[in-house]
Structure 1
């Protein structure tokens, strides 16, 4: 499946903004990764493996893969 890269970029930018904060001296900063609370919630729903640890990656569960594919198709399919 091909994805509309503009929609993907806009969604990524929105996620960065949602998890951003304003610096004391001005400017808006955001972590390059998802907020840890998001990872915890996805784990509690059984969609990903434990998000805490030394590894910089997680595994999607079978249920997580199925739901992620549906969401990606609904939001970003060309």
Structure 2
């Protein structure tokens, strides 16, 4: 497996774990998922900065997952055969 493929697998697994360990909260603009950031910072930075799937400050201990992130995580779970 190439390094690029491995990076993609790590990214996919991180997004799935964020989703699986998330909880729902109500905000001003509806409900959203929130998860603790106990994952590699490089991957979290990629999901936040490059892909804009999660948000949260560097100082916070949790991140917010947008609807797009939740949808992608659910698609990845199905792709990898993981049941919620």
Normalising to structure 2: TM-score of the pair?
0.47
Matched residue pairs, number? Answer: 48
In structure 2, relative to structure 1, the CA distance for the partners of 1:74 and 1:48 (3 Å cut) is same
Larger Rg: 1 or 2? Answer: 1
Partner SS state of residue 38, structure 1: helix
Task: Give the CA deviation at 1:51.
Answer: 5.1
Aligned residue among 53, 71, 76 for 2:76: 71
Moved over 3 A (4+): none
| Greater fraction of residues in strand | 2
> Which ranges of structure 1 fall in alignment gaps of 5 or more residues?
1-10, 13-32
> Which ranges of structure 2 fall in alignment gaps of 5 or more residues?
1-12, 15-37
Of structures 1 and 2, the one with the larger relative CO (CA 8 A, separation 6+) is 1
Normalising to structure 1: TM-score of the pair?
0.50
Aligned residue among 29, 47, 51 for 2:53: 47
Provide the alpha-carbon RMSD of the alignment.
Answer: 2.6
